Amino acid sequence: MHQHNLFTTMRSLNLAEGCKGTQVYAPPPPHPQQQQPGSNNNNATGGVGDKFLQHLQDHLRVNSIRSKSSRTYPQQSNVAVSPDSLLPLGLPLTDLLEPRIDPSLKFPDLVDEMARVHRRIATSDRSEKSGAYLEQCAVFRGLSDPKLFRRSLRSSRQHAADVHAKVVLSSWLRFERREDELIGTTSMDCCGRILECPKSTLVPGYHPETVYDPCLCSSGSSSIINDVSECSTSEEEEVDYDMSFCIGDEEVRCVRYKIASLSRPFKAMLYGGFNEMKRGTINFTHNGISVEGMRAAEIFSRTNRLLGHDFPPHVVLELLKLANRFCCDELKSACDEHLARLVTTLEEAMLLIEYGLEEAAYLLVAACLQVFLRELPSSMHNPNVIKIFCSVEGRERLASLGHASFKLYFFLSQIAMEDDMKSNTTVMILERLVECAVESWEKQLACHQLGVVMLERKEYKDAQRWFNTAVEAGHLYSLVGVARSKFKRDHRYSAYKIINSLMSDHVPTGWMHQERSLYCSGKEKLLDLDTATELDPTLTFPYKFRAVALVEENQFGAAISELNKILGFKASPDCLEMRAWISIGKEDYEGALKDIRALLTLEPNFMMFNGKIHADHMVELLRPLAQQRSQADCWMQLFDHWSTVDDIGSLAVVHDMLANDPGNSLLRFRQSLLLLRLNCQKAAMRCLRLARNHSKLKHERLVYEGWILYDTGHREEALAKAEESISTQRSFEAFFLKAYALADSTLDPKSAEYVIQLLEEALRCPSDALRKGQALNNLGSVYVDCDKLDLAGDCYTNALNIKHTRAHQGLARVYHLKNQRKAAYDEMTKLIEKAQNNASAYEKRSEYCDREMAQADLSLATQLDPLRTYPYRYRAAVLMDDHKENEAIEELSRAISFKPDLQLLHLRAAFYDSMGEGVSAIKDCEAALCIDPGHTDTLELYHKAREANATDQK
């Protein structure tokens, strides 16, 4: 009987879930079947690519002497449109601006918190290890690097021992890859590793050393089942029955001592002096079990297994009820495990979870929960699932079986807040999260998040109450929420005092100054905002406020320049929106359209102007006012933006092209590469998934799946996808993926030669100029590592010949290694002159000049991109050489305060150690090991500092 029919039957019963080549490219070569008449169809390999490259270079030479307007359609300048018609809500006002409160945990001293978490992980026993890593997840959630969060989540799953924790954490890992968005996949598909295998999660036990091994779910077990069936049949012929159970008019023959062995109640009934002991036939009609169910119980009493007997689900459910009624532990366990194996769809899970909860079947409920969780986020909109997760009764029923945990509601809360911050569902899930919170950090997070949601819903009294509770639990950042809630209720001075007191008690941070600026005015407000930017240049609100203040003074150009400062190193959607908003007021419709297109690439559903107008609608309004370009013109414009390292402009062009060709998987892929270079990983993964879904060719889909796996930390699986793609069809992208994934480790000479071969194979395959430029650039880097400088120089020169601007940096490195320092400096100067975003070029050029010039270049690099850590480390090292230890520590601390980078922490720890400040050195080492527990240099320094500190204490 098919499973679908079995579940249909059940419903009728009344029985009680380095940066990869991140660039954009010129148009790909036409498919052989799409070549123009007269083209040579035999040149389907490298010849086509070479001809295309030559054609593209010729096209560039011709177009370099054309005016820009000759490549575009005439601008519709005769359309009379005023900024007022495009800005029905007017220009932004400073009085309406305020920063959003981060729903994640945030600390006055993040380094201290990271060090504490590392110590907890290092000292916890195996029963606490998973929870310790989950706390680390909560700390990393507020940082900009999603890889840290995913690594901690994998570690938490690795050390999980009980089934519930494995189900939740495995489902969460799957959700982080958003595999639900991949067409052709199902929620119960297995990734091939025990870590996320839906069948392995249902096996209890602590096995941290095997979670990354391949799982066995794909191996067949039908032969075993058949053997069991045959064995039990042969046994049945030899059974010596000595009693019967009468159910209605039918009898089920049994072996008395076998039935008695099922449980103590059965043993007492059959051997304990009751009347049934003397009877050969016992009436069992009114015990809620059918003849078919009793026969199954009889078989289990002899074989001690259900597997292999092909019992229908409704019969197993009857056995489960019987097991509960008569305390048959082994039978219940077998039924539980058997039913758990059957749950594969949301429909089945919804049906079976009620039975599982009623009959206290732990594994069955776990299997149903697993389906619900692996179906997220769509299952979050199922009212029956919501009732189970969100209601007080539902949580209590789950808790009775050990399936209502903080980790479960932590996972659900992240999805609910992302889906709709203000919804009732989000509130109910967070209320359940608070109820499950036990540890201090759990209470801090749960109450703080609930406060943030209440603030968004404008329920300020409740928001203040929850923020206060979080503060009482130890989360000082929630004082920002307390102050904001008071401010919203017109208690401005009270809010000011709260933040002022916080700043008096702790070393002031950027977010403290930012928050205090809301509650003061005039020069004091601007001073706080400037200090906030100085302490934490990644905060977007100060830039936006200063820009809008300039607009109010009618200084539109200065306002745009202010926003350019942060958009030069951080692709922030709210800053892109603000720049577009101001550009419309300035009547720079081309610039506004560019920013809105880039914004939609980051967040496709973005609502502009305080959430009043969809960004897509603004594109339609602005498009007639900007230059109209054909698809070919867009490709050339894309080439120009890439050559000048204008990533925002490149994103805008690709978005424009996708509007005309939304199913173009190559464009989606290139869009994802651009986003990765801008450190927008979430948006990049979405574009990769779209590229995979739109691709009609198997070998292309495999490449995109490989990049998805690689970018989410699954290197071996990515290599397997690349090899499968190559075996299907040799292509540039497949060879490039394989070479890149292999090069993501220290290469020995043999491995380096293999990577070179792969990149050479990639270059023989058809591709476009910009993509080949990246391959040439990567090949040059491998040659440099192999000390083949002449070959490397050739690669970089060839890349520059096809406008791969970044190859200047590689060529400069070759000159430097050849002791041609002046040539290296000049090469980097060329890159600085060409690149729009050139902070990295200034940083690299500093290596090829004297100290004074290097200091100037690095100062400019920090000004352009304060997130680059090398300049801070260089300046700190210079200060240490000059015996200015305190100034060196301050230089590093300045960067660590907003970017707790591994290298910065290690260097500061080394400085502390050299100064004899062992406690500070140990703390920095622990914070660095929280980021990378396997960092060799830090481990050595850590052990050295601890030994020295222990000696000093003696």
Query: In sequence order, what are the residues at sequence separation of 6 or more whose Cβ sits closer than 8 angstroms to the Cβ of residue 303?
Result: 228, 232, 235, 309
- Tell me which of 534-538, 593-597, 733-737, 833-837 is least confident: 833-837
Which tops the pLDDT comparison, 265 or 24? 265
Three-class SS of residue 281? strand
Portion of the chain with pLDDT greater than 70, in percent: 88
For residue 64, pLDDT beyond 80: no
Q: Is residue 774 part of a domain?
A: no
Q: pLDDT tier at 81 (50, 70, 90 boundaries)?
A: low
Residue 162 pLDDT: 95
Is the residue at 140 inside a domain? no
Orientation of helix 110-123 relative to helix 126-141, angle to 10°: 160
Lowest mean pLDDT of 15-19, 761-765, 843-847, 926-930, name the range. 15-19
Three-state DSSP state, 246: strand
The pLDDT-based confidence of 942 (bands split at 50, 70, 90) is very high
Burial of 237 (0-12, 13-18, 19+ CB in 10 A): exposed
Bridge partners of 614, per DSSP, are: 607
> What is the model's pLDDT at position 287?
84
In a domain, 229, yes or no: no
* Mean pLDDT, residues 838-844: 95
Give the mean model confidence (pLDDT) for residues 665-690: 94
Number of domains in the chain: 2
User: Which of 58-67, 685-694, 744-753 is the least confident region?
Assistant: 58-67
**Whether the Cβ atoms of residue 775 and residue 614 lie closer than 8 Å to each other:** no
User: Does residue 828 contact residue 843 with C-beta atoms inside 8 Å?
Assistant: no
Separation CA 312–CA 17 (nearest Å): 21
- CA distances (Å), 432 to each of 346, 406, 464, in order? 23, 9, 19
State the Cα–Cα distance between residues 788 and 817, nearest whole angstrom. Answer: 11
Tokens of 80: 């009379």
pLDDT mean across residues, the chain: 88
Contact 159, 364 (CB under 8 A): no
Q: Which of 43-47, 742-746, 824-828: highest mean pLDDT? A: 824-828
Sheet holding 281-283, edge to edge: 250-254, 243-247, 281-283
Listed in sequence order, the DSSP H helices in 476-555 are 478-488, 492-505, 510-517, 522-535, 541-552
pTM of the model: 0.87
pLDDT score of 191? 80
Amino acid 284 reads: F
Answer with the one of 571, 593, 628 that is the final residue of a domain. Answer: 628
Q: Is there a domain that residue 276 lies in?
A: no
Classified as helix, coil or strand, 775 is helix
Residue 51 has a pLDDT of 38
Strand partners, 254: 243
pLDDT digits (tens, 9 = 90+) for 727-778: 999 999 999 999 999 998 777 888 999 999 999 999 999 998 889 999 999 9
Domain-located, residue 606: yes
Q: Which residues contact 518 (CB under 8 A, 6 or more apart)?
A: 98, 99, 484, 487, 495
pLDDT at 58: 44
Determine the average pLDDT of the residues in 267-286: 79
Whether the predicted pLDDT of 21 surpasses 80: no
pLDDT digits 0-9 by tens, 381-411: 999 999 999 999 999 999 999 999 999 999 9
- Parallel, antiparallel, or unpaired: how do β-strands 250-254 and 613-614 relate? unpaired
Instruction: Kindly tell me if the per-residue pLDDT of 145 is higher than 80.
Output: yes
Provide the b/e sequence for 250-283 (b: ≥16 CB within 10 Å).
Answer: ebbebbbebbbbbbeebeebbeeeeebeeeeebe
Decide if 547 is inside a domain: yes
- Judging by beta carbons within 10 Å of its beta carbon (0-12, 13-18, 19+), is residue 41 exposed, middle or buried? exposed
Residue 415 Cα to chain centre, angstroms:
12
Mean pLDDT for the stretch of residues 104-120? 97
**Per-residue 3-state assignment (H helix, E strand, C coil) for 896-952:** HCCCCCHHHHHHHHHHHHHCCCHHHHHHHHHHHHHHCCCCHHHHHHHHHHHHHHHHH
Tokens of 145: 């690097």
pLDDT on residue 89: 81
Instruction: Check which CATH number belongs to the domain holding 937 and give it.
Output: 1.25.40.10
Query: Would 498 be classed as within a structural domain?
Result: no
Tell me how many helices (H) and strands (E) the chain has.
50, 5
Q: Would you state the pLDDT for residue 237?
A: 52
Q: How many other C-beta atoms are found inside a 10 Å radius of the C-beta of residue 539? A: 22
Q: Which domain holds residue 920?
A: 869-953
- Structure tokens, 792: 């490397």
Beta bridge partners of 244: 253, 281
Give 461 or 59, the one with higher predicted confidence. 461
Q: CB-based contacts of 815: which residues, under 8 Å, 6+ apart?
A: 821, 823, 824, 827
| pLDDT of the residue at 30 | 41
Compute the distance between CA of residue 841 and CA of residue 849 in angstroms, rounded to an integer: 13
Could you say which of 601, 628, 655 is where a domain stops? 628
Residues 405 and 395: their CA atoms lie apart, in Å, by: 9
Start-to-end Cα distance in the chain = 76
Q: Which residues of 426-462 are buried (b: 16+ CB within 10 A; e: fewer)?
A: bbbbbbbbbebbeeebbbbbbbbbbbbbbbbbebbeb
Residue 235 is predicted with a pLDDT of 44
Predicted confidence (pLDDT) at residue 15 exceeds the cutoff of 70: no
Between 219 and 585, the higher pLDDT residue: 585
CA dihedral (181, 187, 192, 198) in degrees, to 10, reads 150
pLDDT of residue 184: 85
Instruction: Please say if the pLDDT value at position 14 is more than 80.
Output: no
Percent share of the chain, pLDDT over 90? 76
Mean pLDDT of 817-834: 96
Indicate if the pLDDT at residue 8 is higher than 60: no
Last residue of a domain, one of 600, 628, 656: 628
Between β-strands 243-247 and 281-283, what pairing exists: parallel, antiparallel or unpaired?
parallel
Q: Is 190 within the bounds of a domain?
A: no
Instruction: Tell me how far the alpha carbon of residue 737 is from its chain's centroid.
Output: 20
| pLDDT 10s digits, 163-212 | 999 999 999 999 998 887 888 888 888 888 899 999 999 999 999 999 98
Q: At what angle do helices 424-436 and 406-419 cross, to 10 degrees?
A: 160
DSSP H helical ranges for 359-476: 362-374, 383-390, 392-400, 406-419, 424-436, 440-456, 460-472
